[in-house]
Amino acid sequence: MEHLLLLVKVTALSGVGGTGLGGAVGALFKRDSSKTASLLLSFAAGVMTAIVCLDLILGAINTKTNIFVISLGIIFGCLVVYLLNLLIDRFTNKEVHHIDVYHPKTADNLDEIIHSNHLSEHLKKNDTRLSLFVAGIIMACAIALHNIPEGMTIGASFANSKSMQGSAMILAILIGLHNIPEGMAIAVPLINGGIKRRLAIFITALSGFPTVIGGILGYLIGDLGPFGLALSLSFASGAMLYVVFAEILPQSILMYRSKLPAFFVILGLLVGLIVIYM
């Protein structure tokens, strides 16, 4: 029970704290330097990749579970996050006039990646405050679902190590950082919709609570035995690989078009390697 309480505290800080901080940033400040944010995201992507490939997946393999079962678990983790992103896009893309049959099957600018492009469309049309408020609520619900598999990554890593040291804590911090732009994407339309800033930040932070639920699920499945641990770790690995390669890295490249983010990815990989094997 003590382990589970610690996990709840850490996932709450990562999910509720990360999205809540993003909401506060969206409510109080303008967007920070794109270059700095890009390099930080690239570094985080490198660390996450190292932890997934050199810790979580190896942990699943060490349970002696069939490698094809582990591979299916990774594919399933990728697929779940992809479908959740597809759900978010279905609610938002129809509001953006240039996203049609000719649009690339991926985001072509930063606002599309963080799902905030619908806000600018509402503002261009001078839509009512109610429509902006509804857009923010839809974003909050969609991102809340999206946070469950991210929480499972922390829970699976915790079940693997039985401590919040090393990779489990690093993942919690990185997922918390990843939640900041998502929190901004929720809070801004809520505030523009006429809701008070404090309440907007509260709703935004609340959308991060499913991270706690995901963390508990990942831990409980991983605590069932070697096979359960393999399933939990492989699913979490797939979910995190999708987040890294379909969200974080494209986001960092679109924010700062340079070769420098690639070097920060490599630096992150090395730091992740050191953290795992220290």
SS in 3 state form for 122-173? HHHCCCCHHHHHHHHHHHHHHHHHHHHHHHHHHHHHHHHHCCCCCHHHHHHH
Of the candidates 165, 166, 168, 145, the one whose C-alpha atom is nearest the C-alpha of residue 155 is 168
**Region 225-251 average pLDDT:** 88
* Between residues 120 and 137, the one the model is more confident about: 137
Give residue-wise pLDDT tens across range 265-274: 999 999 888 8
Give residue-wise pLDDT tens across range 42-90: 888 898 899 889 888 998 999 899 999 999 999 999 998 888 877 777 7
189 and 133 in contact (C-beta within 8 Å)? yes
211 and 151 in contact (C-beta within 8 Å)? yes
Tell me the C-alpha distance between 132 and 190, whole Å: 6
Please tell me the least confidently modeled range out of 26-30, 36-40, 180-184, 239-243.
26-30
Of the candidates 241, 254, 245, the one whose C-alpha atom is nearest the C-alpha of residue 107 is 254
Tell me the C-alpha distance between 194 and 210, whole Å: 26
Give the pLDDT score at 33: 56
Reply yes or no on whether the pLDDT at 147 is more than 90: no
pLDDT grade, residue 108 (50/70/90)? Answer: low
Give the pLDDT score at 109: 57
Please tell me the least confidently modeled range out of 148-162, 174-188, 246-260.
174-188
Of the candidates 132, 121, 114, 115, the one whose C-alpha atom is nearest the C-alpha of residue 95 is 121
Give the pLDDT score at 110: 56
Give the pLDDT score at 61: 93
Give the pLDDT score at 32: 47
Within a 10 A sphere around the Cβ of 251, how many other Cβ atoms? 21
Single-letter code of the amino acid located at 207: S
**Region 159-171 average pLDDT:** 70
Gyration radius (Cα) of the chain, Å: 18
What number of residues does the chain have? 278
Report the predicted TM-score, pTM, of the whole model to 2 decimal places: 0.74
